[in-house]
């Protein structure tokens, strides 16, 4: 929707209809869609990712709605290239191996929680990646996102005042040079974030933020730690950029 | 790929190429794709979500590859329905309001971390949702997923032996009946998960798992707590099903 001028998120309602895997649920969905159209006196736009061809056809004929099928762009061309007929069966992408994948993602989340906020030294040897940055630069949510989505063991290390005033790389990080990634943020943004947390504190002062960030940047440059400015970048994009810049292979996708 | 028989994940390599937002990066991507095709002596299949029409055309003409454009299924039909021309500008879905959205997701993650594993009573009043279940039923990763993706304040409460042996709903949960959601899991699966964590313990015994789960289920039924069996369901699906069953509106999507 963001590709169309003049359509703001206030102008449409998003109604997710999930797990339509039986005909009864399909009928419910069709009723819901038709009612919404009548209520709004507008044609509903339905994004339907039904893999079952019969369901797709039933939906298309039963509704007074615009049906957009994102799978249509994939399944047909892939079928031609691979010279195979699609199975049109629901839920196949969550089959065999799902339990292992689940376990490994949960292990990654547990590792990330256990090593959050610098409780690193002993267990960092196991980390795929160690995020480094000043307090409130986005380390915790990013490390959890990477753990949940990619099964990566991500530790994080907050640069303390002592670290920032010291010489070179903080000692606990020295054995792990190759696995470090720095997160940066603009001083103004950091100031806002910290003000919300500890209003009026020295910690939140713009000047404190500016000094800490300058020192953190200097460390990243001097120690050749790849880094990223997270100001106005979403957690998804930060995570993707980290994978891209480090070349780390996800354990699971 | 799961829709095609005989294609296993061992038979193809996934190479993500991210942030192609300049012509220089597009040229790098094209080189990479062509090299991959020559190396494998197979036509690469490229899923290209480029919104910039010029980039899409350059990619299509420059490569010896199958180009599949997931956006083609959306943009054209939407353009017709809305009677608007797409802007074809990169990065629009991450624009204004991103900082607020980021803050609110981070707040949700922090809340979820602070209330993880039953440190609930004082702060549960703020929770949108409280996940309830026996130890290792998937509460922590699910609550973090819901916080990161939907900005929801999700607490979780582990049913202890005392809770399971007691009468009715555990006392700390009584003020929050309307916000509870139960997670269940098969005894066999729980046994495997716990064995990996504490091998040979009474805690991990199949019989212990069976008893705890039966009691948890009985509580969910007696107290009319909506619940879900998480065995072999991915974290994404558990989360989507919880939203569906509770009708909770995401704070952010």
Structure token digits, residue A122: 């002993």
| Gap between the Cα atoms of B246 and A97, Å rounded | 29
Give the per-residue pLDDT at A96: 42
Q: Read off the DSSP letter of residue A91.
A: T
Output B226 or A252, whichever has higher pLDDT.
B226
pLDDT at A95: 46
| Whether B18 and A244 lie within 8 Å, measured CB to CB | yes
pLDDT tens string for chain A (253 positions)? Answer: 777 777 776 677 778 787 788 999 999 999 999 998 898 888 888 988 887 888 888 988 887 888 888 777 777 878 887 888 877 666 555 544 566 777 888 888 888 888 876 665 667 888 999 999 999 999 999 999 999 988 999 999 999 989 999 888 999 899 999 999 999 999 999 999 999 889 999 999 999 999 999 999 999 999 999 999 988 778 888 898 899 889 888 876 5
The residue whose two tokens read 């997670």 is: B183
Q: Which residue of B has its CA nearest to A65?
A: B81
Q: Flag if A105 and B193 touch (Cβ within 8 Å).
A: no
pLDDT of B187 reads 96
Quick one: pLDDT at residue A120? 59
Residues in A closer than 8 angstroms to B237, CB to CB, are 19, 94
Q: Which residue has the higher pLDDT, A125 or B8?
A: A125
Binary contact (B98, A234; C-beta < 8 A):
yes
Q: Could you report the per-residue pLDDT of B190-200, keeping only the tens digit for each? A: 999 899 889 99
A58 contacts chain B (CB < 8 A): no
- CB contact, 8 Å: A237 with chain B? yes
- The predicted-structure confidence for B116-127, as pLDDT tens digits, reads as follows 766 656 678 889
Q: How far is CA A186 from CA A17, A209, A212, A245, in A?
A: 39, 9, 11, 20
- Average pLDDT (B213-220) is 96
**Tokens, residue A218:** 């200097």
Q: Please give the pLDDT value at position A217.
A: 96
Whether the pLDDT of residue B68 is over 70: the answer is: yes
Q: State pLDDT tens for residues B96-107.
A: 456 677 778 888
Point out which residues pair with A182 in neighbouring strands: A132, A227
Which A residues in the span 87-146 are in contact with B, Cβ-Cβ below 8 Å? Answer: 87-89, 92-95, 98-99, 101-103, 105-106, 109-110, 113, 116, 138, 140-141, 144-145
Burial level of A174, CB count in 10 A (0-12/13-18/19+)? Answer: exposed
Least confident of A191-195, B2-6, B156-160, B238-242: B2-6
Q: How far is CA B215 from the centre of its chain?
A: 28
3-state secondary structure chain B: CCCECCCCHHHCCCCCCCCCCCHHHHHHHHHHHHHHHHHHCCCCEEECCCCCHHHHHHHHHHCCCEEECCCHHHHHHHHHHHCCCECCCCCHHHCCCHHHHHHHHHHHHHHHHHCHHHCCCCCHHHCCEEEEECCCCCHHHHHHHHHHHHCCCEEEEECCHHHHHCCCCCHHHHHHHHHEEEEECCHHHHHHHHHHHCCCCCCCCHHHHHHHHHHHHHHHHHCCCCEEECCCCCHHHHHHHHHHHHCCCCCCC
Q: Which of B68, B92, B109 sits opposite A141 (nearest CB)?
A: B109
- Chain B residues touching A193 at Cβ < 8 A: 103, 106
CA distance B167 to chain A (A): 31
CB-based contact B64:B36 (threshold 8 Å): no
Listed in sequence order, the residues at least 6 apart from B221 whose beta carbon sits closer than 8 Å to its beta carbon are none
**B220 has a pLDDT exceeding 50:** yes
A228's enclosing H/E stretch is strand A227-229
Does an H or E element contain A207, and which? helix A206-222
Residue B95 has pLDDT above 60, yes or no: no
**pLDDT band of B163, cuts 50, 70, 90:** very high
Tens of pLDDT, residues B128-161: 999 999 999 999 999 999 999 889 999 999 999 8
Q: What average pLDDT does range B55-72 have in this prediction? A: 83
Per CB-CB distance under 8 Å, the chain B contacts of A5 are 84, 87
The mean predicted confidence, pLDDT, of chain B is 85
Q: Do A234 and B113 touch (CB under 8 A)?
A: no
């Amino acid at each position: 929707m963001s590709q169309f001028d003049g359509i703001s998120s206030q102008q449409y309602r998003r109604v997710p209809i999930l797990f339509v895997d039986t005909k009864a649920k399909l009928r419910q969905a069709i009723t819901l869609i038709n009612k919404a159209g009548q209520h709004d006196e507008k044609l509903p736009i339905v994004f339907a990712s039904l893999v079952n061809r019969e369901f797709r056809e039933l939906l298309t004929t039963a509704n007074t709605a615009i049906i957009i099928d994102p799978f249509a762009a994939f399944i047909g061309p892939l079928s031609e290239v691979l010279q195979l007929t699609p199975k049109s069966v629901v839920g196949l992408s969550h089959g065999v191996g799902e339990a292992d994948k689940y376990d490994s993602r949960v292990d990654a989340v547990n590792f990330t929680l256990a090593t959050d906020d610098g409780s690193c030294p002993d267990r960092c040897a196991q980390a795929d990646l160690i995020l480094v940055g000043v307090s409130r630069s986005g380390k915790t949510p990013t490390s959890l996102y990477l753990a949940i989505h990619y099964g990566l063991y991500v530790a994080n290390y907050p640069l303390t005042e002592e670290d920032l005033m010291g010489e070179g790389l903080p000692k606990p990080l020295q054995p792990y040079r190759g696995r470090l990634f720095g997160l940066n943020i603009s001083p103004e943004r950091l100031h806002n974030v910290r003000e919300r947390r500890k209003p009026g504190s020295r910690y939140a002062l713009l000047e404190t933020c500016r000094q800490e960030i300058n020192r953190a940047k200097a460390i990243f440059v001097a120690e050749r730690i790849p880094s990223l400015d997270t100001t106005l970048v979403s957690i998804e994009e930060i995570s993707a950029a980290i994978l891209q810049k480090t070349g780390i292979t996800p354990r699971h996708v």
